[in-house]
């Protein structure tokens, strides 16, 4: 069972002196150890924890807080797996099972474009019988329908779990060379119009938890492989962590450490160098062995590892997007970093944001569990912001956190609350049912308008910035938009 002890003492004005040394490291932009993370999780002094996360968040983003205009499109809820935490999946023929056809997809794209969306986020179950061509059609239909309407709608689609499933369907998956199959699938999808990968399917990178709650799903090494190949191909990706079920806080910390190691590798590939405060342009100095190991195999905790730690939280360090812009501006003849990348996409290939997802027990096989408390949600977000020093963004996904909670999170490490969403089938909260929201299995229409998102951000004391999927500022002119 999870150790989710709620601190019994009120600590406002009673700071925990054990956090002093950790605070010094954070101010200096140094990487925290797993034990530092444990101390942050276990302290009763949640105020200092949130303050430290807010310090880092402000160093990276100042007063800015991001949202986007997006739409979720779950193409099918039919799934070969039966993960215990999941209330979304249905078996083929079961009541409530659905698979969308391209006419439906086109309609969704038209509605999305009409409403000014810049992103379509599309994921689904592992359908046992859809052919590979369904998925390239899906991506192509989204891109082409939007293009015909004059929109550059970004297609963010398929978790790492789906990508591996597609490699198997296409008969390209070889366990002895799994990256080859993954690369084949991602290249096909990218050619069809895929722009980035969402962060789902990671759950918690721990084999015990995996075997108990989502056996049959890919393990951490394969999930990280998919993101490694996506980065290699120049696609940006996100990462999630699903917490508050049967994992321990330590498992969350290990998960975060594995992610930041994977990000070290991605940033090294982009040309970041460990020693420079403002990173130098050293793309030619990336050591091959760093890239080929992926940095996560043979996980050894804080000691060891294959790529040098690269933190973005030291004063003056450029965030990846600024770094790339700077690099491209100052080095017109940027060398081709990797043979698999096309010149058009050499600018990207890293993790953008960490998205902590609180477990919703209702309707799942783990319904007996209470789910995380509000304080645990704050803690996990704040710890994630502090541990993941090389992730530019931390997202409080409002639809799962609720808007009031997302506001607190903006003051505790988050810089992004996601978007207008419209339809969300994976967890069903009735936001009209009160401050916290209540579970409602029939509600999948969960839309907010941009005024509501902007107001929530302003009320939390920040400046709302509309971003696109790649965190570029969106500029609107009537019905059209550009970045
Ligand atoms: O992978 C499923 C989670 C994820 C439950 O990349 C549950 O921008 C809580 O990944 N309780 C899908 N969580 C959602 C996701 C996501 C969402 C928003 C933005 C982005 C992004 C990614 O939802 C799954 C799983 O971890 N999930 N069931 C549940 N009962």
The pLDDT of residue 465 is 98
Which tens digits make up the pLDDT trace of 344-356? 444 589 999 999 9
Instruction: Report the C-alpha gap between 481 and 102 in whole angstroms.
Output: 25
What's the CA gap between 321 and 120, in Å, rounded? 21
Question: Which residue minimizes the CA distance to atom 30 of ligand 1?
Answer: 360
478: left (phi over 0), alpha (psi -120 to 50) or beta: left
Q: Are the CB atoms for 168 and 130 separated by under 8 Å?
A: no
Identify the pLDDT of residue 478: 87
Number of H helices, E strands in the chain: 16, 14
SS3 339: coil
For residues 316 and 395, the model is more confident at: 395
Task: Report the atom number in ligand 1 closest to the C-alpha of 237.
Answer: 6
How is residue 65 written in tokens? 């807080």
Distance 394 CA to ligand 1 centre (A): 15
Using pLDDT thresholds of 50, 70 and 90, give the confidence band for residue 281.
Answer: very low
**Integer Cα distance of 357 and 117 in angstroms:** 23
Residue 184: C-alpha distances to residues 1, 7, 124, 229 (Å): 40, 49, 20, 10
Alpha carbon separation from 189 to 132, 160, 392 (Å, rounded): 10, 13, 26
Name the token pair of 300: 């050894």
CA of 357 to the centre of ligand 1 (A): 6
Residue 363 CA, closest ligand 1 atom number: 30
DSSP H helices in 115-217: 132-148, 160-169, 178-192, 207-213
Query: How far, in Å, from the CA of 358 to the mean position of ligand 1?
Result: 9
- Percent of the chain past pLDDT 70, that is, above it, reads 83
More confident: 36 or 7: 36
Q: Which of 211-220, 225-234, 270-279, 426-435 has the lowest mean pLDDT?
A: 426-435
Q: Which homologous superfamily is 65-482 in?
A: Aldolase class I (3.20.20.70)
pLDDT in tens, 59-89: 999 999 999 999 999 999 999 999 999 999 9
| Whether the predicted pLDDT of 5 surpasses 50 | no
**pLDDT of res. 440:** 53
Q: Which is nearest to 456 in space by CA: 422, 394, 414, 393?
A: 414
CB atoms within 10 A of CB 342: 12
Domain ranges of the chain: 65-482
pLDDT for the residue 443: 57
Q: Which of 232, 312, 328, 305 is nearest to 279 (CA)?
A: 312
**E strands along 17-140, which residues?**
64-68, 70-74, 119-123
CA distances from 48 to 11, 356, 413 (A): 9, 20, 12
Whether 142 shows a pLDDT value over 50: the answer reads yes
Distance 123 CA to ligand 1 centre (A): 10
Answer whether residue 49 shows pLDDT above 50. Answer: yes
Among 72, 357, 381, 439, residue to substitute to test ligand 1 (most atoms within 8 Å of Cβ):
357
Residue 191 CA from chain centroid, whole number: 23
Mutate to test the pocket of ligand 1, among 216, 242, 360, 369 (most ligand atoms within 8 A of CB): 242
Residue 11 vs residue 188, higher pLDDT: 188
pLDDT given at position 274: 56
Residue 423 CB-half CA count within 13 A: 14
Q: What is the DSSP letter of 283?
A: G
When pLDDT is averaged across residues 263-292 and rounded to a whole number, the result is: 59
Strand pairing class (194-197; 351-358): unpaired
pLDDT top residue among 452 and 343: 452
Query: What residues line ligand 1, using a CB cutoff of 6 Å?
Result: 85-88, 159, 198-201, 203, 238, 240, 242, 355, 357, 359-360, 364, 397, 418, 426-427
Give the nearest ligand 1 atom to 239 CA: 6
CA-closest residue to ligand 1 atom 2: 86
State in Å: Cα 33 to ligand 1 middle.
27
- Among 214, 426, 446, which residue has the most ligand 1 atoms within 8 Å of its CB, making it the best to mutate? 426
Please name which of 213, 248, 255, 199 lies closest in space to residue 86, comparing C-alpha atoms: 213
Contact 114, 106 (CB under 8 A): no
Burial 151-184 (b: 16+ CB within 10 A, else e): bebbbbbbbbbbbbbbbebbebbeeeebbebbbb
The span from the CA of 22 to the CA of 15, in Å, is 13
């Amino acid at each position: 069972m999870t150790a989710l002890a709620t601190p019994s003492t009120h600590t406002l004005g009673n700071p925990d002196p054990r956090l002093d040394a950790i605070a010094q490291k954070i101010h200096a932009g140094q990487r925290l150890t797993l034990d530092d993370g444990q101390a942050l999780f276990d302290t009763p002094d949640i105020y200092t924890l949130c303050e430290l996360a807010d310090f880092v968040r402000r160093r990276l983003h100042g007063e800015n807080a991001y949202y986007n205009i997006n739409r979720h499109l779950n193409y099918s809820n039919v799934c070969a797996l039966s993960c215990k935490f999941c209330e979304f999946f249905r078996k083929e023929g079961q009541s409530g099972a659905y698979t969308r056809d391209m006419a439906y997809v086109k309609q969704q794209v038209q509605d999305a474009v009409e409403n000014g969306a810049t992103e379509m986020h599309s994921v689904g179950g592992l359908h046992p019988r859809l052919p590979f061509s369904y998925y390239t059609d899906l991506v192509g239909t989204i891109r082409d329908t939007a293009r015909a309407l004059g929109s550059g709608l970004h297609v963010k689609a398929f978790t790492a779990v789906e990508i591996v499933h597609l490699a198997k369907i296409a008969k390209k998956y070889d366990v002895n060379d799994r990256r080859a199959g993954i690369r084949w699938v991602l290249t096909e999808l990218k050619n069809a119009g895929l722009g980035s990968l969402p962060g789902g399917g990671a759950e918690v990178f721990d084999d015990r938890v995996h075997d108990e709650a989502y056996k049959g799903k890919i393990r951490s090494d394969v999930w990280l492989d998919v993101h490694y190949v996506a980065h290699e191909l120049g696609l940006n990706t996100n990462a999630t962590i699903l917490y508050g079920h049967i994992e321990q806080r330590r498992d969350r910390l290990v998960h975060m450490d594995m992610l930041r190691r994977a990000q070290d590798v991605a940033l090294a590939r982009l040309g970041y160098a460990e020693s420079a405060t403002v990173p130098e342009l050293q793309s030619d100095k990336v050591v091959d062995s760093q890239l080929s190991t992926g940095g996560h195999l043979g996980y050894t905790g804080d000691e060891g590892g294959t790529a040098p730690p690269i933190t973005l939280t030291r004063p003056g360090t450029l965030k990846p997007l600024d770094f790339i812009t700077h690099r491209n501006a100052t080095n017109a003849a940027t060398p081709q970093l990797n043979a698999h990348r096309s010149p058009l996409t050499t600018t990207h290939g890293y993790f953008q944001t960490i998205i902590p997802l609180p477990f919703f027990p209702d309707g799942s096989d783990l319904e007996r569990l209470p789910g995380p408390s509000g304080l645990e949600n704050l803690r996990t977000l704040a710890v994630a912001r502090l541990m993941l020093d090389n992730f530019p963004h931390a997202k409080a996904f409002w639809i799962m956190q609720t808007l009031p909670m997302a506001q607190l999170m903006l003051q505790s490490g988050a810089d992004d609350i996601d978007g207008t969403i419209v339809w969300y089938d994976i967890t069903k909260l009735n936001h009209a049912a009160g401050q916290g929201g209540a579970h409602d299995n029939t509600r999948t229409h969960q839309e907010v308008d941009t005024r509501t998102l902007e107001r929530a951000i302003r009320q939390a004391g920040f400046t709302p910035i509309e971003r696109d999927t790649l965190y570029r500022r969106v500029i609107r002119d009537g019905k059209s938009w550009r970045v």
